[in-house]
Structure 1
Amino acid sequence: MKHIQLGDWGQEFRTYTRLDRLCESFVRHRTLVDCWLWVLVLVALVLDAHTTTVGLERGLVESNPVMRVAFSTFGVSVIWGLKAAVAGLALGCWAVLPRDDRMLVPASLGLPWALAVLSNTGLLVAV
């Protein structure tokens, strides 16, 4: 039976799959920029979910067809769980990525969600 070599990344992933090591990774590998980007993610997540919920309550229509189906099937509150799941998955990915690439994870979530907040706010002001 042959063993597949995963290289350094595979070893690092196996190391961080234990919860205590994952928590240690967050503390040891964070930078000031990472912290601010995660604050942006958290604020954008809450504001995007809130402005989406308010917009739907005021008669606006969700433009994302997948989310439209999710809202009609599970209700508007499903957005909170989905966004939390995406943020949790991103946080796990951030923990196992090499230090030089980590900043991309919160930036790729925070910036689009912040733009969605601006878009939602503009639509709400126009209503």
Structure 2
Amino acid sequence: MANVIHGANVVVAGLFSARRKDHVEAMDELEAEVTRLGGLVTARFVQRRGVSGKGRVRGGAENMDRPYSSRTLMSTGKIREIADACVRTDATAVVFHNDLTDRQRRALSEIFGSAVLSIRELKEERRANG
């Protein structure tokens, strides 16, 4: 996995509940982890869940800790922005602060045309390799 990150342009992303006040620090941690493994962060995306709603879409407290999509984790618009950044910055990996299901990883990898990982995987890799 480190070989996927080392020397690569990497986009980082995170979905955070509005309840979580440390999302900036969490993204800084993610960026630092990518840098420790030799990657270059070329773009950074945060989506906050429960910060504001649009129109009559149900949101609120009952949905704040849930992903926007079971398939892609984030909203369609945010996924499009990340995909555009992958192309624009020639990124070969996208690392999420969130844990991902196998289904999400496959779908996102197909959409982005790059490897998709989570911070947990990066940390496990670093611990395993010292």
Q: TM-score, normalised by structure 2?
A: 0.35
- Higher strand fraction: Structure 1 or Structure 2? 2
**Hey, which of these two has a bigger chunk of helix by percent?**
1
Higher relative contact order (CA 8 A, sep 6+): 1
